[in-house]
Amino acid sequence: MLVIRPIQSSDFAALRHIAEESGPGFTSLPVNDGRLQQKIAHSEISFVQDVVQPGQQGYLFVLEDTATGDIVGTTGIEAAVGLETPLYHFQQNRVMHHSAELNVLNQLKTLTLCNDYTGASEICTLFLRQSYRKGYTGRFLSKVRFLFMAEHPQRFAETVIAEMRGVSDGNGQPPFWGWLQKLFLTIDFPTADHLIGVGKKAFIAELMPRHPIYVGLLPEEAQQVIGQVHEHTKPALKMLQQEGFVHRGYVDLFDAGPTIEARLGQIHSVASSIKVPVKVVSKVEPGQMLAVSNTETQGFRASFSEQARFDEHQGALLIQPELADALQLSDGELARFIVLEKGRR
């Protein structure tokens, strides 16, 4: 069985392996022992804090294969970004240049450096090992964050964002990066990527353009990828769009990938999740595939299975003992669930 739980210090070796496997561009998990240990410690503190409003907390979960004990994926949530270290984006805008005398009207696209998402919550750090990318696992890994957020809304902001990976070439280099490197940063992409990953972002404010940039002046290959996602990111983008996330013109500084947003209470899996008592039964007839979690914080556990079924007549979630044990649930305790795929019977 695959079970989501909060990360703990003993998971360091597994997290480092995932950081290595995730490759360049996955800045939330840099291959840096100190930074990874710091992220684990910060997450452990965040889960035990008594929180009434979002702050510096960061929640990192791991996906464990209980049959082997292996950690096969990660997923995370930042409670409020940009409070300590600014979170920068380019905002896409349009400006009008008009000459009445010449009867000329030009509408021009611009990019402006901003930190408009300061204080928003961010879903992040989603990675699943290649051999587990099948069935419902990826979908579960994305949606399980919304079960936790639905259960603990006071820990998160009203606006939730997700930064989507932008287009890169076969060598992992974003076409958008070249003009920035040449004109402003004069460091290579791996170096900039590493600095972001270890939290050293001061160079952005120091070196990035401070005035709006006319998109039409950029190289054609850079223009074409603004707001576009990497081929491997398209399924994740589609899934979040189905949850209600939309793109409002903000893109990443380095690869120009879109940042999408939604209101917490309007995210489909948050709004549609149901919290009910559980009833442990010996057998549940297979039906819909459900993602189910307990209602704990530090002891949060979640999984997906057909070993659970909502009985409207009893007003209870019927679950088999194996699933109940994995989620540390007993008769009468509360669980929260969502249907992983609408229409499955």
Catalytic residue numbers, as ranges: 230
The first and second tokens of residue 12, run together, are 């360091």
What are the DSSP E strand ranges found in 40-88?
58-65, 70-78
125: left (phi over 0), alpha (psi -120 to 50) or beta: left
d(CA 127, CA 165): 12
HSE at residue 146, side-chain half, CA atoms within 13 A, is: 31
Identify the burial level of 211 via C-beta atoms within 10 angstroms of its C-beta, where 0-12 means exposed, 13-18 middle and 19 or more buried: exposed
Pairing between β-strand 70-78 and β-strand 159-163 as defined by DSSP bridges: unpaired
256: left (phi over 0), alpha (psi -120 to 50) or beta: left
Determine contact, residues 91/249, Cβ cutoff 8 Å: yes
Return the amino acid letter for 341: E
Determine contact, residues 289/339, Cβ cutoff 8 Å: yes
Determine contact, residues 291/305, Cβ cutoff 8 Å: no
The first and second tokens of residue 51, run together, are 């929180």
Phi, psi of 156 (to 5 degrees): -135, 160
The first and second tokens of residue 73, run together, are 């994926």
Vertex 185: Cα angle to 179 and 187 (nearest 5): 100
Determine contact, residues 77/150, Cβ cutoff 8 Å: no
